Chains A and B, each alone.
Chain A
Amino acid sequence: MISFEAVNKKFADGTTAVRELDMEIPEGQLTVLVGSSGCGKTTTLRMINRMIDATSGKVRVDGRDVRDVNASTLRRNIGYVIQQSGLFPHRTIGDNIATVPRLLGWDRKRVRDRVVELLDTVGLARDLAGKYPHQLSGGQQQRVGVARALAADPPILLMDEPFGAVDPVVRTLLQDELLRLQDELHKTIVFVTHDIDEAVKLGDRIAIFKTGGHLVQFSTPAELLTHPADDFVADFLGAERGLKLLSLTSLADVPIEPVTTVTESTSVAEARRAGDGWILAVTDNGRPRGWVHVDHLPADGVLADAEPIVAAGLTANASLLAALDATVSSPVGLAVRVDEDGCVAGVSSPQQINERAARFRAEVLVP
């Protein structure tokens, strides 16, 4: 557990970055520090591993005042990931990942094995170990950054806007990966971002900071969205607070309705017989392909020739927000549901999704 007790940080130029901060960061959870630039979130993060020392107050890790621990020793036990990854350009990927294990004096074989293991963990090919950072894409570099931070299996991971410099598609991917990793590893992660959507998506708990170093609210995403502490937080959360709330719960409890599917290799003539109006085309192994209207079928050929309107399948883990989005973009107003293997399981209607949303709202609002 990491705790801040009446922590202040004033820089030499007179600016106050953090003011009277009291906060307890729970163990094994992902805590996001969020706020606009200059709000003190990064300073707060950097006080944990003593990249910055507090002006007054105490920062404790597992009950010990960090000031009592040698800075380098402390840092070797806390993983650290920063924007642009901060990889050492003159060292190979393998050497980069091996930094802390080597500092800790691990033997050669153990280091090598660990590097391979970590490449697997973060989803990178093993043969990248011999490459140099600049030979990798931004997303790959960021994964290496995470691998390097995890190398000595530290209980705490500090991440300072780690996905700030990659494009949106890759960012989403990296966020999903991080969630998957956290499911396995259960580290105490402190994550800094200025992107509220990222905070809501990743955080078990979110701390919102205001310019001048004030912590304004520290709570779960759901509570934040339903009970913003003040106008500042409400403003910061943005106009679509309700929709963001929908991203916090999954489709798991939404019923699945059966749907008629036709494999895409089916001949046009046969497909016509399957029904009238919109039919759901699936691949030969049952994955969703898209919606096709029988009136739009070509004269002959197979169903695939009709160029279906693509429909993505949603697993039980998908958020209500994603489901609602799918219903809106579907020509029939239905979200396609798939099982764990990705095969079509049925559909859900907006009404069913809304019912679940209403129940969720009631759950989080009540306390």
Chain B
Amino acid sequence: MGELIAEVLRWFADGTRWSGPEGVVQRLFEHLQYSLLSTVVAVLIALPIGLLIGHTGKGAFFAINLASFGRALPTVGVVILVFLVSGLNLWPVYVALVVLAIPVIVTNTYAGMAAVDHDVRDAARGTGLNGWQVLFQIELPLAVPLIMNGVRLAVVQVVATATIAAYISFGGFGRYVFDGFAQNDLAQVFGGAVLIAVLAIALDLALSGLQRALTPRGLALQRRRSNR
């Protein structure tokens, strides 16, 4: 074990590891590209669905089961299936990652909407806000913390799963995992896993900053108080 760690450290210490077309920096950009693009697309699809379900209260059953369904969908199978249809391009990766992220975001958005105080929603309607105004002025701001929890969870999963891009010859940190596996070079696998974990944690931290920034001040104060 100690030997492996020493090897991993040597792997990281290798100066040529970091630059060039196969360097860590290039792989980082690739990994970010797969992960972020997928997450953004997933948000664009999932957020409206979650908001709609939460706002109308219809399809909650669908939302809850979608989560189960999404978790059960084997990513490797999806990648391969799309690959067999689309051929050698990035579609398999994006489809699999988007499909992975959507359920998490939908259910968390729905949960966020469902958690909006019934009285507040009632008062908003009773005060004369129309459906869209209730959604965008009241429900959405109040659901932001939970929606962002969903996005964070999705990003962590997507970053870890973007490893699969390397299986069908593309880049990202997954390259180190698959190459290391094929070459029986565990230090490389370990290095790749560490890079992926660090990236996931870093993105999660960045998003928690965004979450704080997006959370309305009144709500943040309230939460801080009720946590005390």
Which A positions have Cβ atoms within 8 angstroms of B?
49, 51, 71-77, 80, 82-92, 99-100, 103, 132-135, 145, 148-149, 158
Contact of B197 with A by CB under 8 A: no
Cβ of B130 to closest chain A Cβ, rounded Å: 4
Q: Which B residues are CB-close (under 8 A) to A132?
A: 217-218, 221-222
Contact of B225 with A by CB under 8 A: yes
18 A-B pairs (CB sep. < 8 Å): A49-B126, A51-B122, A51-B126, A72-B128, A72-B129, A74-B128, A75-B125, A76-B127, A76-B128, A80-B126, A82-B126, A86-B117, A86-B124, A89-B120, A89-B216, A91-B218, A99-B129, A103-B128
- Whether B122 and A100, one on each chain, are in contact in the complex, defined by CB atoms closer than 8 angstroms, is no
- Whether B119 and A90, one on each chain, are in contact in the complex, defined by CB atoms closer than 8 angstroms, is no
Cβ of B112 to closest chain A Cβ, rounded Å: 13
Q: A100 vs B125: C-alpha distance in the bound complex, in angstroms?
A: 11
Q: A85 vs B125: C-alpha distance in the bound complex, in angstroms?
A: 13
- Whether A84 and B119, one on each chain, are in contact in the complex, defined by CB atoms closer than 8 angstroms, is yes
Q: Which A residues are CB-close (under 8 A) to B129?
A: 72, 99, 103
Q: Which of B127, B138, B217 contacts A80 (CB 8 A)?
A: B127
Q: Which B residues are CB-close (under 8 A) to A149?
A: 127
- Whether B120 and A135, one on each chain, are in contact in the complex, defined by CB atoms closer than 8 angstroms, is no
Decide: A134 near B128, CB < 8 A? Known: A82-B119, A89-B120, A90-B142.
Answer: no
- Whether A72 and B130, one on each chain, are in contact in the complex, defined by CB atoms closer than 8 angstroms, is yes
- Give how many B residues have a beta carbon under 8 Å from the other chain's beta carbons: 23
- Whether B125 and A51, one on each chain, are in contact in the complex, defined by CB atoms closer than 8 angstroms, is yes
Cβ of A59 to closest chain B Cβ, rounded Å: 15
Within 8 A of A (CB), among B56-78: none
Q: Which of A72, A74, A83, A92 contacts B119 (CB 8 A)?
A: A83
B interface SS class: helix
Contact of B202 with A by CB under 8 A: no
Closest B residue, CB atoms, query A165? B119
Q: Which B residues are CB-close (under 8 A) to A148?
A: 127
Q: A193 vs B92: C-alpha distance in the bound complex, in angstroms?
A: 61
Cβ of A89 to closest chain B Cβ, rounded Å: 5
Q: A135 vs B216: C-alpha distance in the bound complex, in angstroms?
A: 15
Q: Which B residues are CB-close (under 8 A) to A71?
A: 130
- Whether B133 and A82, one on each chain, are in contact in the complex, defined by CB atoms closer than 8 angstroms, is no
Q: Which B residues are CB-close (under 8 A) to A85?
A: 119, 123
Closest B residue, CB atoms, query A73? B128
In the complex, besides A75-B128, A86-B117, 9 extra interface pairs with C-beta distance below 8 angstroms are A73-B128, A82-B122, A84-B119, A89-B222, A92-B218, A103-B127, A103-B129, A134-B218, A148-B127
Q: Which B residues are CB-close (under 8 A) to A86?
A: 117, 119-120, 122-124, 126
Q: A76 vs B126: C-alpha distance in the bound complex, in angstroms?
A: 8
Closest B residue, CB atoms, query A132? B218
Provide the B129-146 mask, 1 if CB < 8 A to any CB of A, else 0.
110010000100110000
- Whether A88 and B138, one on each chain, are in contact in the complex, defined by CB atoms closer than 8 angstroms, is yes
Q: A124 vs B130: C-alpha distance in the bound complex, in angstroms?
A: 29
Q: A148 vs B122: C-alpha distance in the bound complex, in angstroms?
A: 14
Cβ of B41 to closest chain A Cβ, rounded Å: 28
- Whether A89 and B128, one on each chain, are in contact in the complex, defined by CB atoms closer than 8 angstroms, is no
Contact of B206 with A by CB under 8 A: no
Cβ of A235 to closest chain B Cβ, rounded Å: 31
Contact of B44 with A by CB under 8 A: no
Q: Which B residues are CB-close (under 8 A) to A49?
A: 126
Closest A residue, CB atoms, query B124? A88
